[in-house]
Amino acid sequence: MTYRIAAADDHPVVLDGVRLMLDSIGGYELVGVGTTLKEIVAVCASTRPDVLILDLNIDNKNSLELVPDLFLHHPDLKIIVFSAYQSTGLLKKALEMGIHGYLLKDATKAEWVEALKCVGQGKTYLSKYFKTSVAPMFDEVIQLADFPQIATLSDQEKKIIRLTAQGLTELELAGAIFISKHTVHTHKKNIFKKLHLHTNADLVKFAYENNLV
């Protein structure tokens, strides 16, 4: 299987380096690149990548602001932050938002191979820097990495989960939050994908276990 990769950075030389690195690994195809926040949204919509490699600072703007909307429209998308910032605060913020990997821009080819494999298996990968340089708080970081699902949910999705747990049907939900039944159904499909659930019973259990009701 060839994984489809999109990359976002406002420096073309970085994007060229990502392309060369992926070509040298094999099994990955760079299907699109973006150099602005607007281009990132368009590239993800047009190419439907499996993984997005995302720089944190694009045109002096925080690209993490895009993450909730990207997950809303592409619930199966995996995001690897690729940044020069060695900030535990940024790392924690990124994990809270549901990203799947955090690599520093001095990452070796071997680390890229490990990160892409790890994320492809549905796990979270963190740069070796964070594993060695911030060891005292690493357990806390890993806890955040283990529970990214709630962070990927929008306020609307949390409301739908809560009302579903209270026993409302999709039609009743639509009336309660003033949207169409079709929109409710679409939201629930995305919720199931994000949380890797299959039935309303699973969703109700998740809601109670995570204090959403």
Query: What CATH number is given to the structural domain containing 181?
Result: 1.10.10.10
Number of H helices, E strands in the chain: 11, 8
Mean pLDDT of the chain: 86
Q: Rg of the chain over CA atoms, in angstroms?
A: 18
Residue 180: count other Cβ atoms within 10 Å of its Cβ.
10
Is residue 173 over pLDDT 80?
Answer: yes
**pLDDT at res. 90:** 82
What percent of the chain shows pLDDT beyond 90?
Answer: 50
CATH of the domain at 131: 3.40.50.2300
What's the pLDDT score for residue 139? 52
Same-domain check for residues 143 and 165: no
Domain tally, the chain: 2
Say whether both 185 and 100 belong to one domain. no
Q: How far apart are CA 44 and CA 118, in angstroms?
A: 21
> Are 144 and 158 in a shared domain?
no
Q: What six digits make up the tokens of 22?
A: 């992926």
Residues 26, 61 share a domain? yes
Q: Are residues 191 and 104 in the same domain?
A: no
Q: Do residues 71 and 160 share a domain?
A: no
Determine contact, residues 119/97, Cβ cutoff 8 Å.
no
* Single pTM value for the model: 0.66
Range of the domain at 15: 3-150
pLDDT of residue 168 exceeding 80:
yes
The last residue of a domain, from among 127, 150, 173? 150
Joined together, the tokens standing for residue 142 give: 């890993």
3-state secondary structure of 93: helix
Q: Which of 27-31, 37-41, 201-205 has the lowest mean pLDDT?
A: 201-205
The pLDDT of residue 147 is above 60:
no
Residues 85 and 33 in one domain: yes
Count CB neighbours of 132 within 10 A. 9
Whole-number pLDDT of residue 146: 46
